[in-house]
Amino acid sequence: MLEPANTWTQGLDFPSRLFESGSNDYELYEEDGEFVLSVELPGFDPAEITASWNDGVLNVAGEHEDERRGTRRTYHRRFRFPKAIDEDGIEAEYRNGILTVRLPVTVESAVSGREIEIEG
């Protein structure tokens, strides 16, 4: 019988949730015309985290090496967004082990529309 992931990883210097399927290390919601993504990355330094935007996909990656313990942690996740994002307005902040990325939704012309004059 296989042991649960959190049992066999207890002796390792890794959070067990990184090994579990259906990981819930992030929260994503939409409010006030923007998406807000919060990712738990405890123990990382801001310089060890990268966030990049490419063609509707946000990539979040991190790599942390603890030389005292001889351990290395990596994190990588991709988030695809269903709406057009204002690339120039994307902001990211890392505080208290949580990376927060704000992605403003662009107002698309199809949504605002315009009245069409009817000639008669």
Which tens digits make up the pLDDT trace of 8-53?
444 444 444 444 444 578 999 999 999 999 999 998 999 999 999 9
Q: Which amino acid is at 4?
A: P
CA atoms within 13 A on the CB side of 22: 1
Position 4 scores a pLDDT of: 45
pLDDT, greater one: 46 or 119: 46
Q: Are 107 and 85 in contact (CB under 8 A)?
A: no
Q: Are 97 and 46 in contact (CB under 8 A)?
A: no
Closest to 64 (Cα-Cα) out of 85, 82, 50: 50
Position 66 scores a pLDDT of: 85
pLDDT tens-digit readout, 85-94: 999 999 999 9
Q: If you average pLDDT over every residue of the chain, what do you get?
A: 79
